[in-house]
Amino acid sequence: MITEREIAEKFSVIWKQHFPLLTPTFMRVFNEAHIFNINAPIPIKENVRNDIVSEISFNIVEKVIIEESYIEDYIENEIKLKKIVEFTAKSIWKSGNFSEKDFLLNEIEITEIKRICQNLIEFIQKIKKKQVKFKPTFTGYGFIPDLVGDLSIDDTLFEIKTVNRNFRSSDLKQLLLYLALQQVSSGLNWKYAGLYNPRKGTYCKFNIKNLIYDLAGGKTPNESFENLLDSLTRDVQIDSKF
Protein backbone atom coordinates (compact mmCIF):
# COMPACT_ATOMS: atom_id res chain seq x y z
CA MET A 1 0.00 0.00 0.00
CA ILE A 2 1.37 3.41 -0.97
CA THR A 3 1.73 6.01 1.77
CA GLU A 4 1.35 9.78 1.75
CA ARG A 5 5.07 10.14 2.48
CA GLU A 6 5.96 8.06 -0.58
CA ILE A 7 3.60 10.12 -2.74
CA ALA A 8 5.10 13.35 -1.42
CA GLU A 9 8.70 12.22 -1.91
CA LYS A 10 8.30 10.50 -5.27
CA PHE A 11 6.36 11.26 -8.47
CA SER A 12 8.52 14.34 -8.99
CA VAL A 13 7.43 14.72 -12.63
CA ILE A 14 3.76 14.89 -11.66
CA TRP A 15 4.35 17.33 -8.81
CA LYS A 16 6.42 19.55 -11.10
CA GLN A 17 3.73 19.40 -13.76
CA HIS A 18 0.95 20.65 -11.46
CA PHE A 19 2.95 22.82 -9.05
CA PRO A 20 5.86 24.03 -11.20
CA LEU A 21 6.86 26.81 -8.83
CA LEU A 22 7.35 24.52 -5.82
CA THR A 23 11.12 24.62 -6.26
CA PRO A 24 14.15 24.56 -3.91
CA THR A 25 14.37 28.32 -4.35
CA PHE A 26 10.75 28.71 -3.26
CA MET A 27 11.41 26.58 -0.16
CA ARG A 28 14.47 28.64 0.80
CA VAL A 29 12.43 31.83 0.61
CA PHE A 30 9.52 30.13 2.35
CA ASN A 31 11.69 29.05 5.30
CA GLU A 32 13.26 32.48 5.55
CA ALA A 33 10.13 34.60 5.23
CA HIS A 34 7.15 32.59 6.44
CA ILE A 35 8.39 30.60 9.44
CA PHE A 36 7.82 31.93 12.94
CA ASN A 37 9.09 30.90 16.36
CA ILE A 38 6.44 29.88 18.87
CA ASN A 39 8.23 27.55 21.35
CA ALA A 40 11.64 27.04 22.88
CA PRO A 41 13.61 24.63 20.64
CA ILE A 42 14.46 21.10 21.77
CA PRO A 43 17.78 20.01 20.23
CA ILE A 44 17.86 16.29 19.49
CA LYS A 45 20.20 14.26 21.67
CA GLU A 46 21.99 10.97 21.29
CA ASN A 47 20.31 7.75 22.38
CA VAL A 48 16.90 9.08 21.40
CA ARG A 49 14.66 7.21 18.94
CA ASN A 50 13.10 10.26 17.40
CA ASP A 51 10.38 8.38 15.50
CA ILE A 52 8.74 6.75 18.49
CA VAL A 53 9.44 9.70 20.81
CA SER A 54 7.63 12.04 18.39
CA GLU A 55 4.62 9.76 17.96
CA ILE A 56 4.28 8.99 21.66
CA SER A 57 4.31 12.72 22.40
CA PHE A 58 1.57 13.36 19.85
CA ASN A 59 -0.58 10.51 21.19
CA ILE A 60 -0.19 11.73 24.76
CA VAL A 61 -1.15 15.28 23.81
CA GLU A 62 -4.23 13.98 21.99
CA LYS A 63 -5.40 12.32 25.22
CA VAL A 64 -4.47 15.31 27.37
CA ILE A 65 -6.46 17.74 25.21
CA ILE A 66 -9.49 15.50 24.72
CA GLU A 67 -9.68 14.37 28.35
CA GLU A 68 -8.63 17.76 29.78
CA SER A 69 -5.95 16.02 31.81
CA TYR A 70 -2.22 16.56 32.33
CA ILE A 71 0.98 15.30 30.72
CA GLU A 72 2.09 13.84 34.04
CA ASP A 73 -1.04 11.68 34.16
CA TYR A 74 0.52 9.58 31.41
CA ILE A 75 4.27 10.03 31.72
CA GLU A 76 4.31 9.28 35.44
CA ASN A 77 1.76 6.46 35.28
CA GLU A 78 3.64 3.29 34.37
CA ILE A 79 0.58 1.40 33.14
CA LYS A 80 -0.79 4.23 30.99
CA LEU A 81 2.62 5.02 29.56
CA LYS A 82 3.30 1.40 28.66
CA LYS A 83 -0.05 1.16 26.91
CA ILE A 84 0.65 4.26 24.82
CA VAL A 85 4.19 3.11 24.00
CA GLU A 86 2.99 -0.30 22.81
CA PHE A 87 0.16 1.18 20.76
CA THR A 88 2.51 3.72 19.17
CA ALA A 89 5.24 1.19 18.40
CA LYS A 90 2.84 -1.17 16.68
CA SER A 91 1.37 1.65 14.60
CA ILE A 92 4.70 2.96 13.28
CA TRP A 93 6.84 -0.20 13.19
CA LYS A 94 4.54 -2.03 10.83
CA SER A 95 7.08 -4.70 9.94
CA GLY A 96 6.59 -6.18 13.40
CA ASN A 97 10.34 -6.48 13.76
CA PHE A 98 10.55 -5.46 17.43
CA SER A 99 10.48 -7.02 20.87
CA GLU A 100 9.30 -6.13 24.37
CA LYS A 101 12.61 -4.46 25.18
CA ASP A 102 11.96 -1.95 22.39
CA PHE A 103 9.00 -0.67 24.44
CA LEU A 104 11.35 0.48 27.20
CA LEU A 105 12.12 4.19 27.19
CA ASN A 106 15.34 5.57 28.60
CA GLU A 107 15.41 8.66 30.83
CA ILE A 108 16.51 10.94 28.01
CA GLU A 109 13.59 9.78 25.83
CA ILE A 110 11.09 10.34 28.64
CA THR A 111 12.46 13.85 29.18
CA GLU A 112 12.19 14.59 25.46
CA ILE A 113 8.62 13.28 25.33
CA LYS A 114 7.64 15.59 28.16
CA ARG A 115 9.25 18.62 26.50
CA ILE A 116 7.72 17.89 23.10
CA CYS A 117 4.32 17.44 24.76
CA GLN A 118 4.71 20.80 26.47
CA ASN A 119 5.54 22.51 23.18
CA LEU A 120 2.62 20.86 21.39
CA ILE A 121 0.15 21.90 24.06
CA GLU A 122 1.54 25.43 24.16
CA PHE A 123 1.21 25.66 20.37
CA ILE A 124 -2.41 24.49 20.43
CA GLN A 125 -3.30 26.88 23.24
CA LYS A 126 -1.76 29.83 21.42
CA ILE A 127 -3.31 29.04 18.03
CA LYS A 128 -6.75 27.66 18.94
CA LYS A 129 -9.82 29.86 19.13
CA LYS A 130 -12.65 27.33 19.10
CA GLN A 131 -12.04 23.78 17.95
CA VAL A 132 -9.25 21.20 17.85
CA LYS A 133 -9.50 17.87 16.05
CA PHE A 134 -6.78 15.24 16.08
CA LYS A 135 -6.08 12.86 13.21
CA PRO A 136 -8.60 14.07 10.60
CA THR A 137 -9.31 11.37 8.02
CA PHE A 138 -9.29 11.67 4.24
CA THR A 139 -11.14 9.41 1.83
CA GLY A 140 -8.88 7.74 -0.70
CA TYR A 141 -8.95 8.32 -4.42
CA GLY A 142 -8.27 5.60 -6.98
CA PHE A 143 -5.18 3.73 -5.83
CA ILE A 144 -4.51 6.27 -3.07
CA PRO A 145 -5.79 4.75 0.20
CA ASP A 146 -7.68 6.50 2.98
CA LEU A 147 -5.20 8.68 4.85
CA VAL A 148 -4.96 10.27 8.29
CA GLY A 149 -3.62 13.77 8.92
CA ASP A 150 -2.28 15.30 12.12
CA LEU A 151 -4.19 18.25 13.46
CA SER A 152 -7.09 20.51 12.56
CA ILE A 153 -7.34 23.76 14.52
CA ASP A 154 -10.39 25.86 13.67
CA ASP A 155 -10.13 26.61 9.92
CA THR A 156 -6.53 25.40 9.56
CA LEU A 157 -5.06 21.98 8.78
CA PHE A 158 -1.62 21.52 10.33
CA GLU A 159 0.94 18.87 9.48
CA ILE A 160 3.36 18.20 12.35
CA LYS A 161 7.01 17.44 11.61
CA THR A 162 9.07 16.73 14.73
CA VAL A 163 12.45 16.90 13.05
CA ASN A 164 15.79 18.65 13.39
CA ARG A 165 15.64 20.42 10.02
CA ASN A 166 13.84 23.13 8.09
CA PHE A 167 10.58 22.38 6.32
CA ARG A 168 10.93 20.69 2.92
CA SER A 169 8.87 20.67 -0.24
CA SER A 170 7.78 17.11 0.61
CA ASP A 171 6.17 18.47 3.80
CA LEU A 172 4.09 20.90 1.75
CA LYS A 173 3.27 18.19 -0.78
CA GLN A 174 1.90 15.97 1.97
CA LEU A 175 -0.36 18.79 3.09
CA LEU A 176 -1.47 19.43 -0.49
CA LEU A 177 -2.33 15.74 -0.88
CA TYR A 178 -4.58 15.83 2.19
CA LEU A 179 -6.26 19.00 0.97
CA ALA A 180 -6.78 17.49 -2.47
CA LEU A 181 -8.44 14.37 -1.04
CA GLN A 182 -10.70 16.48 1.14
CA GLN A 183 -11.65 18.67 -1.80
CA VAL A 184 -12.71 15.86 -4.13
CA SER A 185 -14.47 13.78 -1.47
CA SER A 186 -16.63 16.45 0.16
CA GLY A 187 -16.19 19.67 -1.77
CA LEU A 188 -15.28 21.30 1.52
CA ASN A 189 -11.87 22.40 2.64
CA TRP A 190 -9.91 24.35 5.19
CA LYS A 191 -9.24 28.00 4.43
CA TYR A 192 -5.72 27.79 5.79
CA ALA A 193 -3.02 25.16 6.20
CA GLY A 194 0.29 25.08 7.98
CA LEU A 195 3.32 23.21 9.24
CA TYR A 196 4.49 22.95 12.83
CA ASN A 197 7.73 21.58 14.27
CA PRO A 198 7.62 21.14 18.06
CA ARG A 199 11.30 20.21 18.15
CA LYS A 200 12.46 23.48 16.57
CA GLY A 201 9.50 25.42 17.98
CA THR A 202 8.60 26.84 14.57
CA TYR A 203 5.45 27.01 12.46
CA CYS A 204 3.87 28.58 9.41
CA LYS A 205 0.30 29.22 8.35
CA PHE A 206 -0.84 30.19 4.86
CA ASN A 207 -3.97 30.86 2.84
CA ILE A 208 -4.52 27.74 0.72
CA LYS A 209 -6.08 29.53 -2.24
CA ASN A 210 -3.23 32.04 -2.42
CA LEU A 211 -0.52 29.40 -2.10
CA ILE A 212 -2.03 27.23 -4.84
CA TYR A 213 -2.32 30.28 -7.08
CA ASP A 214 1.40 30.96 -6.57
CA LEU A 215 2.60 27.37 -6.91
CA ALA A 216 0.34 26.33 -9.79
CA GLY A 217 0.84 29.39 -11.97
CA GLY A 218 -2.54 31.01 -11.36
CA LYS A 219 -4.76 27.92 -11.23
CA THR A 220 -7.52 27.41 -8.68
CA PRO A 221 -7.35 24.80 -5.89
CA ASN A 222 -10.22 22.84 -7.48
CA GLU A 223 -8.48 22.53 -10.83
CA SER A 224 -5.05 21.86 -9.35
CA PHE A 225 -6.19 19.24 -6.85
CA GLU A 226 -8.34 17.29 -9.30
CA ASN A 227 -5.59 17.25 -11.91
CA LEU A 228 -3.01 16.19 -9.32
CA LEU A 229 -5.07 13.25 -8.06
CA ASP A 230 -5.98 12.10 -11.57
CA SER A 231 -2.33 12.17 -12.62
CA LEU A 232 -1.14 10.37 -9.49
CA THR A 233 -3.81 7.70 -9.87
CA ARG A 234 -2.92 7.09 -13.51
CA ASP A 235 0.75 6.86 -12.68
CA VAL A 236 0.23 4.40 -9.81
CA GLN A 237 -2.11 2.34 -11.96
CA ILE A 238 0.39 2.14 -14.80
CA ASP A 239 3.22 1.18 -12.42
CA SER A 240 1.10 -1.54 -10.84
CA LYS A 241 0.65 -3.25 -14.21
CA PHE A 242 4.36 -3.86 -14.71
**Residues 109-158: pLDDT tens digits?**
999 999 999 999 999 999 999 999 999 999 999 889 999 999 999 999 99
Distance between CA atoms of residues 167 and 173, nearest Å: 11
**Residues 47-77: pLDDT tens digits?**
899 999 999 999 999 999 999 999 999 999 9
pTM above 0.75, yes or no: yes
The 10 Å Cβ neighbour count of residue 28 is 11
Count Cβ atoms within 10 A of the Cβ of residue 236 and give its class: 0-12 exposed, 13-18 middle, 19 or more buried: middle
